[in-house]
Amino acid sequence: MITLREFKEENTAQLTHILNEPEVVKYLSSKIPKPDTLQDAQWWISTGSKFGIVKAIECNGSLIGCIGADRGEFEYQRSAEIGYWIAKDYWRQGVATQAISELIPLIFTTTDIVRLFASVFSENTASMRVLDKCGLKLEAIHKKAIYKDGKFYDNHIFSILKT
Residue 15 burial class via C-beta count within 10 angstroms: exposed 0-12, middle 13-18, buried 19 and up:
buried
pLDDT of residue 148: 97
Residue 137 within a domain: no
Instruction: Please give the model's pTM, rounded to 2 decimal places.
Output: 0.95
pLDDT of residue 153: 98
Residue type present at position 138: L
Domain CATH for 96: 3.40.630.30
pLDDT of residue 1: 82
pLDDT of residue 129: 98
For the chain, the residue count is: 163
Residue 153 within a domain: no
* Strand, coil or helix: 48: helix
- Mark the ranges of the chain whose per-residue pLDDT is less than 50: none
pLDDT of residue 99: 98
pLDDT of residue 105: 98
- Residue 157's DSSP bridge partners are 119, 140
Residue 59 within a domain: yes
Domain holding 60, by residue range, is: 3-117
Q: What is the DSSP annotation of 85-134?
A: EE-GGGTTTTHHHHHHHHHHHHHHHHSS--EEEEEEETT-HHHHHHHHHT
Residue 52 within a domain: yes
Q: How many domains does the chain have?
A: 1
pLDDT tens-digit series, residues 80-125: 999 999 999 999 999 999 999 999 999 999 999 999 999 999 999 9
Nearest to 64 by CA among 31, 104, 24: 24
Q: How far apart are CA 131 and CA 138, in angstroms?
A: 9
Residue 35 within a domain: yes
Q: How far apart are CA 127 and CA 24, in angstroms?
A: 12
Residue 78 within a domain: yes
Residue 155 within a domain: no
